[in-house]
Amino acid sequence: MAIPVDDFVVKPEHSPKSRDETYQRVHYYVAKLSVTVSDQLQQALINLRRSAYNITDVNVQRLALKGYTDEEFASAVKEILCIWLHMEAMDQGGDDMPGWLLTFLRLAFAASDYVIQKPSAHDVMMSYEHCENLASLAVQTSMRTTRWLGLGEHADQFAPSLYPVLLETGQVRQQVLERALTIPQQALLTESVS
C-alpha cells in the first residue's frame, strides 16, 4: 500500500537513540493512540445515536440508543487499537519497513495489553487471519467491535457506522505516530496524552 505524499513517512532520524527512549516513546504512543481511538469511536457512536430515530424497528432503535458499560467500550477500543497498529505497520511499508520501526510497533502492540487487558492483542490479531484487503478488514473489525459493544445479533446492521473509524482516520493515526517519534524526549513524560 503506497503512502500518499502528504502522509507521515518514518525516516531513519526518527529512530529512538536508546532503549529507555524507545520504551518512553512506545508508552506515549500507545497511550495517545488509545485516547485517539476512544475519541473516534465515541464520535461514531454519537452519530449512530443521532441516526437511531430513523430506525423503524423499535427494538433495534432501542439497541442503537443503549448505553455502554466501561468493559464493553474498553474492549471495543482495544479491538480498533490493535487494528490501527496493524494498519500503521502496513502504511509504513509492511515487511519492508525498517527493523527498528518493526520492533517499535511490536512493542506498542504488546504494550496495548497493559493499557486495556481484554481482549488480548494476540487474540484480536488471530481473529483476522482471513482478511484479504482493507475493505474486508474494515467490515470484520466493525462487526467484531459492534459485538464488543453488546449489539449482538444486530452487529451487521450497526457495523457500517464504524467504517469511518477505520477507513477515514489514516492521517489521524499517522499524526499520533509522528508526534510519538518526534516530540522532544523530555516532553514525553510531561505532555498530557488526552
Per-residue pLDDT band for 194 (boundaries 50, 70, 90) equals: low
Among candidate residues 91, 170, 80, the one with its CA nearest the CA of residue 121: 80
First to last CA, the chain: 30
Across the chain, mean pLDDT equals 90
The Cα 118–Cα 77 span in angstroms is 10
Query: What pLDDT, on a 0 to 100 scale, did the predictor assign at position 154?
Result: 86
pLDDT digits (tens, 9 = 90+) for 123-167: 999 988 777 888 889 999 999 999 999 988 888 888 999 999 999
| Count of CA atoms in the C-beta half-sphere (13 A) of 79 | 25
188: pLDDT confidence band, cut at 50, 70 and 90? confident
Report pTM. Answer: 0.91
The structural domains of the chain, with segments of one domain joined by +, span 18-184
Q: Quick one: pLDDT at residue 64?
A: 82
Lookup: cell for 134? 482493507
The rounded distance, in Å, linking the Cα atoms of 23 and 188 is 11
Q: Render pLDDT for 45-69 as a digit per residue (tens, 0 to 9).
A: 999 888 888 888 888 888 888 889 9
Q: What is the DSSP string of 55-117?
A: ---HHHHHHHT----HHHHHHHHHHHHHHHHHHHHHHTTGGGS-HHHHHHHHHHHHHHHHH--
pLDDT digits (tens, 9 = 90+) for 57-105: 888 888 888 889 999 999 999 999 999 999 999 999 998 999 999 999 9
Grade residue 4 by pLDDT with cuts at 50, 70 and 90. Answer: very low
Determine whether 92 is exposed, middle or buried from the number of CB atoms within 10 Å of its CB (0-12, 13-18, 19+). Answer: buried
Q: Which three cell numbers stand for residue 124?
A: 484480536
Q: What CA–CA distance (Å, rounded) separates 168 from 88?
A: 13
